[in-house]
Amino acid sequence: MASGLVRNGAKRFMSTAAAPASSVPAGARSGWWEAVQPAARDPILGVTEAFLADSDPKKVNVGVGAYRNDEGKPVVLECVRKAEQIIAGKQNMEYLPMGGLVKFNDLSVKLAYGDTAPVLEEKRVAAVQTLSGTGACRLFADFQKRFKPDSRIYIPVPTWANHHNIWRDARVEAHTFRYYKPSTRGLDFEGLMEDLKKAPEGSFVLLHACAHNPTGVDPTADQWKEMSQLFKSNGLFPFFDMAYQGFASGDTVRDAQAIRIFMEDGHQLACAQSFAKNMGLYGQRVGCLSVVCDNSQQAVNVKSQLQQIARPMYSNPPLHGAQIVTTVLSDPELKEQWYKEVKVMADRIIGMREALKSNLEKLGSSLPWKHITEQIGMFCYSGLTEDQVDRLTKEFHIYMTRNGRISMAGVTTGNVEYLANAIHEVTK
Amino acid sequence: MATSMALNEIAVSSASSVASKMSSKPAMKKFVGFHTVALSTKNASFPSVKCAAKVNMAVAVDVSRFENVSMAPPDPILGVSEAFKADTDATKLNLGVGAYRTEDLQPYVLKVVNKAEQLMLERGENKEYLPIEGLAAFNKATAELLLGADNPVIKNGQIATVQGLSGTGSLRLGAAFIARYFPGVKVLISSPTWGNHKNILSDAGVPWSEYRYFDPQTVGLDFKGMIEDIKAAPNGSVILLHGCAHNPTGIDPTPEQWEAIADVLEEKGHMPFFDVAYQGFASGSLDDDASSVRKFASRGFEMFVAQSYSKNLGLYAERIGAINVILPTADLAARVKSQLKRLARPMYSNPPVHGARIVANVVGDSVLFDEWRAEMQMMAGRIKGVRQKLYEALLSKDKSGKDWSFILKQIGMFSFTGLTKSQSDNMTDKWHVYMTKDGRISLAGLNLAKCDYLADAIIDSYYNVK
């Protein structure tokens, strides 16, 4: 493939300071990198990059799903600051076990499944600390590939773009099922059930536990129950991605209801949890992957195998974020404070939804906008087309992902009118 | 990838009979119960199903899809610490995992790290996502530490640097890149090498083979074998090299040997992939420990370099490192960086911020930087000190004339004792000395007070166990 680097007589490109930056010695090996093209910008994180590069003072970032307060500033929760003070200087920096901080895992699964969930008391849950929700999904996808190599993953349309990357890089065969209905800007429940009925037994299905990303459209409790029955009768495996527990409705128990419904029906499900949004720990990369098993021995086995996958990826997960979560969740006062702070965030977003909708109606927009307040969580699936989104960016310096997803967390009382006006301009 | 998968499947299926014997439940049949429940229209509730679920839970959930998942073997390195913790004997000594210990055999958080964390706490920085490639200040600092700030590679932008999850994560990104862009290209790893190298390459789907490295006769470098094997590899292979303080042997090539290795790589069109986990920790000098990498860079090699701050800054738990790719042009560097990001995104999206900020703060402040250097010298110095004491203890107890000087010649945290697996087992079983089964001891876990004891254990194991 590559020819040898000519040694004698070749001018090395770094041998003199005067050598131009792009010189490559004559006869030097070439061909290693020809296939490397510049990668396209990540559709989500690339938006923030573009936003940061924009110098217009009116610019608005409703792209990435990171919470902002009403001043448009990132927020570090008070309970988190307190936790950091408590842990400061107290710990050593020794490697965590491959499966992460055990106490963190215990507290995480209690949050997801309920403090007194039978599966926890029976020690039937394999849980490992992960690199936030992404890492949890990836660990599970690799685990699925390793132990059920012929199985499929069913992914809703639309979904968080990175889900496809994750299962693709894990080399799992991916299929999709209908989820969002553009005509109603709501759930296409019939389409969902129809598509999942066709999934072969033993298929894995990716479900957003609450606050579906990017649409904000969640099934009702009855719809979840019906799905649960289908999964049982057709032998489908439920994999829940729960990135917004507490953040959607303001109530952590309510936001986990889908999981509780499936658990009551006896499913052995798996769940990816993230503390990026609900505890504002984005950059700390804290998450948990849990898998419900037959019995405690199997849970031990499954955990050991998950660790085997983690070891050649990152060896063991980072400590700091897990310590923060553990401190907050194990201290009753801090936990209470956290519940309050999560509710404040959720409520602010709900308030901004109402404000955006009423502003658009005030402007006399003829289009329906009730989906803005019907959808839940951080995101609003506006229904804007790619062209309209591009116009919003070019003409109004408003940044969002091209699927029309608006991160309501980036909307403030200061910019909601400007945003409504811009949306009205490009849609009228 | 296919091969490793097949192996995994074989392992699973052969273990499943064991697993089912271990399980206390009777063999499960399919959940026929639920097939008999009529599914009404979508608006009906399903109270009967709920009861059935509770009564027949064992049947209702069928058998877990993962029933055949067998218990994975304990990790050969991290598993050692777990076994050590479980041992109640007072004389126990943990020479397993490579984490630095003080003379009191306590974990050590560097003072500069405490100071940096305190600064960070006072500043009250936010916790926003880092970009996929990590903290810019960290990436700049780490590349400069590696090559020297005035290195033309850096000045010309010929390096792609992406923050990674310590050395492991950085190696994994490099391996994943190789699998995707150099399909079929083989990576050669030393025999022996850090146990996780094989796992990383296998899980990334990269074929690998070994080059001779350790010579049990001399307990030193098998230089001839190394060169032969690297020459025999197909042109354009990737050669994984330890920048300094080879793990597990502690045996590094001399400067002249490095030149000769570079000659062979050039001749064969091979690409070097350096694993630099101990820069500053090996000799106490950041620059000296980077000399092999810098030498290859100055000779014009395109190469991968994985870095870790676990040992030299004691940041083990915070998972901070970087994958660097040195390239002929800045344009290529930009392209490669963008593709590394595409590999990272579906693994963890963006790297953790805490460790990166600590490094950036330490390196970015000249006072802290100097303090860091001093602490590294202290750590490296303590290890050199225990090597010396261990060597003297061995010499005084073993009158056979065996040459134990390899203890002094080897560098870094680890010493490859040359003990076999059964001899290493004896170290653990009889002497409660925990080490890895390949004969590797971590001198970071040894103190002056225990050198005598260890010497006794080694001599007993070496001479009395076959």
SS (H, E, C) chain A: CCCCCCCCCCCCCCCCCCCCCCCCCCCCCCCCCCCCCCCCCCCCHHHHHHHHHCCCCCCEECCCCCCECCCCCECCCHHHHHHHHHHCCCCCCCCCCCCCCHHHHHHHHHHHHCCCCHHHHCCCEEEEEECHHHHHHHHHHHHHHHHCCCCEEEEEECCCHHHHHHHHHCCCEEEEEECEECCCCEECHHHHHHHHHCCCCCCEEEEECCCCCCCCCCCCHHHHHHHHHHHHHHCCEEEEEECCCCCCCCCHHHHCHHHHHHHHCCCCCEEEEECCCCCCCHHHCCEEEEEECCCHHHHHHHHHHHHHHHHHHHCCCCCHHHHHHHHHHHCHHHHHHHHHHHHHHHHHHHHHHHHHHHHHHHCCCCCCCCHHHHCCCCEEECCCCHHHHHHHHHHHCEECCCCCEEEHHHCCCCCHHHHHHHHHHHHC
- DSSP 8-state class, residue B97: S
Q: Do A147 and B342 touch (CB under 8 A)?
A: no
Q: What pLDDT, on a 0 to 100 scale, did the predictor assign at position B82? A: 82
Asked if residue B42 has pLDDT above 90, the reply is: no
**Residue A428: active-site member:** no
Q: Which residue of B has its CA nearest to A135?
A: B348
A428 in contact with B, Cβ within 8 Å: no
Q: What pLDDT, on a 0 to 100 scale, did the predictor assign at position B62? A: 52
Residue A409 tokens read as 């967390």
Residue A110: is it exposed, middle or buried by C-beta count within 10 angstroms (0-12/13-18/19+)?
A: middle
B369 in contact with A, Cβ within 8 Å: no
CA of A319 vs chain B CAs: smallest distance (Å): 5
Coil, strand or helix: which one is B214? strand
Asked if residue B44 has pLDDT above 90, the reply is: no
**Residue A218: active-site member:** no
* Cβ within 8 Å of B, A 175-234: 189, 193, 202, 222-223, 225-226, 229-230, 232-233
pLDDT (tens digit per residue) in A301-337: 999 999 999 999 999 999 999 999 999 999 999 999 9
Asked if residue B358 has pLDDT above 50, the reply is: yes
Q: C-alpha angle B143/B144/B147, rounded to 5°?
A: 85
- Picking from B126, B181, B269, the nearest residue to A4 by CB comes out as B269
Asked if residue B61 has pLDDT above 90, the reply is: no
Provide the CB-side half-sphere exposure for B94 (13 A, CA).
22
Residue type, B425: D
Q: What pLDDT, on a 0 to 100 scale, did the predictor assign at position A30? A: 52
Q: Which residue of A has its CA nearest to B157?
A: A21
- DSSP 8-state class, residue B444: G
Q: Do A2 and B269 touch (CB under 8 A)?
A: yes
| pLDDT, average across residues B104-111 | 94
* Cβ within 8 Å of A, B 309-368: 310, 314-319, 327-332, 334-336, 338-339, 341-343, 345-355
Q: How confident is the model at residue A204 (pLDDT cuts 50, 70, 90)?
A: very high
Asked if residue B30 has pLDDT above 50, the reply is: no
- Phi and psi, residue A84, nearest 5°: -65, -35
Q: How confident is the model at residue B9 (pLDDT cuts 50, 70, 90)?
A: very low
pLDDT (tens digit per residue) in A54-69: 999 999 999 978 899 9
Cis, bond preceding A182 (omega within 30 deg of 0): no
- In terms of pTM, does the model score above 0.90? no
Asked if residue A344 has pLDDT above 90, the reply is: yes
Q: What pLDDT, on a 0 to 100 scale, did the predictor assign at position B224? A: 98
Q: Please list, residue by residue across B437-458, b when 16 or more beta carbons sit within 10 angstroms of its beta carbon and e when fewer do.
A: bbbbbbbbbbbeebbbbbbebb
Q: Say if residues A202 and A151 touch (Cβ distance below 8 Å).
A: yes
Q: What pLDDT, on a 0 to 100 scale, did the predictor assign at position B63? A: 63
Alpha carbon distance B186, B401 (integer Å) = 42
Q: Say if residues A290 and A270 touch (Cβ distance below 8 Å).
A: yes
Asked if residue B2 has pLDDT above 60, the reply is: no
Asked if residue B291 has pLDDT above 60, the reply is: yes
Within 8 A by CB and 6+ apart from B378, the residues are none
Q: Say if residues B325 and B340 touch (Cβ distance below 8 Å).
A: yes
Q: Say if residues B457 and B431 touch (Cβ distance below 8 Å).
A: yes
Asked if residue B366 has pLDDT above 70, the reply is: yes
Q: Say if residues A309 and A142 touch (Cβ distance below 8 Å).
A: yes
**Residue A277: active-site member:** yes
Asked if residue B453 has pLDDT above 60, the reply is: yes
pLDDT (tens digit per residue) in B239-266: 999 999 999 999 999 999 999 999 999 9
Residue B327 parent element (H or E): none
Residue A314 tokens read as 């990152």
Q: C-alpha angle B231/B234/B240, rounded to 5°?
A: 70
B183 in contact with A, Cβ within 8 Å: no
Residue B378 tokens read as 């202290």
Q: C-alpha angle B188/B189/B193, rounded to 5°?
A: 175
Instruction: From residue B181, give the alpha-carbon distance in Å to each of A22, A162, B169, B173, B419.
Output: 22, 21, 18, 12, 40
Query: Above pLDDT 90, what percent of chain A?
Result: 84
Asked if residue B231 has pLDDT above 50, the reply is: yes
A94 in contact with B, Cβ within 8 Å: yes
Q: How confident is the model at residue A93 (pLDDT cuts 50, 70, 90)?
A: very high
Alpha carbon distance A234, A82 (integer Å) = 48
Q: How confident is the model at residue B75 (pLDDT cuts 50, 70, 90)?
A: confident
Q: What pLDDT, on a 0 to 100 scale, did the predictor assign at position B68? A: 75
Q: How confident is the model at residue B16 (pLDDT cuts 50, 70, 90)?
A: very low
Within 8 A by CB and 6+ apart from A41, the residues are A49, A50
pLDDT, greater one: A192 or B16:
A192
CA of B214 vs chain A CAs: smallest distance (Å): 24
Asked if residue A102 has pLDDT above 90, the reply is: yes
Q: What pLDDT, on a 0 to 100 scale, did the predictor assign at position B11? A: 34
Q: What pLDDT, on a 0 to 100 scale, did the predictor assign at position B73? A: 82
Q: How confident is the model at residue A31 (pLDDT cuts 50, 70, 90)?
A: low
Q: What pLDDT, on a 0 to 100 scale, did the predictor assign at position A2? A: 38
Within 8 A by CB and 6+ apart from B49, the residues are A229, A232, A265, B34, B37
Asked if residue B176 has pLDDT above 60, the reply is: yes
| Residue of A76, A79, A313, A323 to mutate for B, most B C-beta atoms under 10 A | A313
Residue A51 tokens read as 């936003």
Residue B188 tokens read as 């050669």
Alpha carbon distance A296, B71 (integer Å) = 12
Query: Above pLDDT 70, what percent of chain A?
Result: 93
- Picking from A12, A226, A302, the nearest residue to B66 by CB comes out as A302
Q: How confident is the model at residue A28 (pLDDT cuts 50, 70, 90)?
A: very low
Q: Dihedral angle at the C-alpha atoms of B214, B217, B218, B220, nearest 10 degrees?
A: 0
Looking at beta carbons, which residues of chain B come within 8 Å of A45? 129, 131-132, 345, 349-350
Asked if residue B23 has pLDDT above 60, the reply is: no
| Length of chain B measured in residues | 466
- Phi and psi, residue A8, nearest 5°: -80, 130
Instruction: Classify B310 in phi/psi space as left (phi over 0), alpha (psi -120 to 50) or beta.
Output: alpha
* Range scoring the smallest mean pLDDT among A34-48, A110-124, A380-394, B296-310: A34-48
Mean pLDDT over all residues of chain A?
91
C-alpha B280: how far from its chain's center?
A: 17
Whose CA is closest to A139, among A291, A296, A267? A291
Tokens 């955990």 correspond to A303
| Residue of A36, A145, A169 to mutate for B, most B C-beta atoms under 10 A | A36
Q: ipTM score here? A: 0.89
| pLDDT, average across residues B308-330 | 96
Q: Do A316 and B319 touch (CB under 8 A)?
A: yes
- Picking from A93, A229, A285, the nearest residue to B46 by CB comes out as A229
| pLDDT, average across residues B290-297 | 98
Q: What pLDDT, on a 0 to 100 scale, did the predictor assign at position A126? A: 97
Instruction: From residue A15, give the alpha-carbon distance in Å to each of A5, A19, B332.
Output: 15, 7, 19
- Picking from A33, A284, A302, the nearest residue to B354 by CB comes out as A284
Q: Say if residues A176 and A326 touch (Cβ distance below 8 Å).
A: no
Q: Do B352 and A166 touch (CB under 8 A)?
A: no
Asked if residue A117 has pLDDT above 90, the reply is: yes
Q: What pLDDT, on a 0 to 100 scale, did the predictor assign at position A90? A: 80
Whose CA is closest to B444, among B178, B97, B63? B97
How many Cβ atoms sit within 10 Å of the Cβ of residue B114? 13
Residue type, B359: V
Within 8 A by CB and 6+ apart from B144, the residues are B151, B154
Q: How confident is the model at residue B48 (pLDDT cuts 50, 70, 90)?
A: very low
* Cβ within 8 Å of B, A 116-135: 131-132, 134-135
Q: What pLDDT, on a 0 to 100 scale, did the predictor assign at position B18? A: 37
The beta strands (E) that lie in B270-394 are given as 271-276, 303-308, 320-326
pLDDT (tens digit per residue) in A256-311: 999 999 999 999 999 999 999 999 999 999 999 999 998 999 999 999 999 999 99
| pLDDT, average across residues A173-194 | 96
Tokens 């000249």 correspond to B366
CA of A194 vs chain B CAs: smallest distance (Å): 12
| pLDDT, average across residues A3-29 | 34
Q: Say if residues A95 and A316 touch (Cβ distance below 8 Å).
A: yes
Alpha carbon distance A258, B298 (integer Å) = 59
- Picking from B54, B297, B339, the nearest residue to A36 by CB comes out as B339
Q: Say if residues A53 and A36 touch (Cβ distance below 8 Å).
A: no
Asked if residue B36 has pLDDT above 90, the reply is: no
- Picking from B156, B181, B349, the nearest residue to A36 by CB comes out as B181
Beta-bridge partners for A156: A177
Whose CA is closest to A242, among A278, A192, A266, A193? A278
Residue A294 tokens read as 């037959």
Within 8 A by CB and 6+ apart from A3, the residues are A29, A30, A31, B235, B269
